[in-house]
A = this chain, B = another copy of it.
């Protein structure tokens, strides 16, 4: 099973899948277009969310970062008059330092991510979508913003008008992802309930990638991140409204169908969205997709696996 994921929402389903599958049967491909440099560190927020979630160390109440985190470095940065709009926890900084040092020494993001996963005791494969740098640019009524500037510093307040992904046209799938695509071993693909515009599009838009996925001839299942007209977390619903789209799961289905025609074989909508499902021409199935407990995550994972015939 190949899972494509952004941050929190995707990580929840990835955790469910990790608990339901043998480690060698799951690879999670993670969006890296949120990655950025901050105080000289190279930070990969979505990869870290996956690593922290899969290793059972994520701060679930907060929705980001590590459980039991401390903030001594951030406080010291504040005392030095430095920017602290992106919250750097002390243990999180260790992750960024290891990554930054190894990237500076010439290792690839794939290699560093594999090392971090190993060090954190994660048995499933966690793969960056690409080892080349891709950066989401948010087009907004306040001009173009780097993703984290929009997302964290400006708390998603600017009205978005569109997105582009700098470097995407030159990016290649990460070597281990390409190897999986070439292996004939991928039995199914799941597009996790992540933001279609800024988490999934950066992955699927890597040149050739979505057509390769479609060409596998295996079930490709997309789980809607929109439930009953709301995003469970993050700015997806706000973005849809600002882009002039209906804020509902049907618009997510149409987004994937229009941009990647023929890719998704089955759309999973929440049971709350039964009415929408019945009006769509795409093949949809209903399930409880709100993942609050580990049981919820495992149940959705089992549903997806069953749907995929795994």
Contacts and interface: CB of A to CB of B under 8 A. Distances in A.
A80 interface: yes
A74 B91 CA distance: 9
A116 B80 contact: yes
A119 B38 contact: no
A100 interface: yes
A93 B119 contact: no
A96 to B, nearest CB: 8
Copies in the complex: 2
Contacts of A100: 39-41
Contacts of A96: 40
B116 A94 contact: no
Contacts of A74: 94
Interface in A55-103: 70, 72-74, 76-77, 79-82, 88, 90-91, 93-101, 103
10 contacts: A40-B40, A40-B97, A41-B100, A70-B72, A76-B94, A76-B95, A77-B98, A81-B119, A88-B97, A90-B90
Interface of A: 37-42, 70, 72-74, 76-77, 79-82, 88, 90-91, 93-101, 103-104, 115-116, 119-120
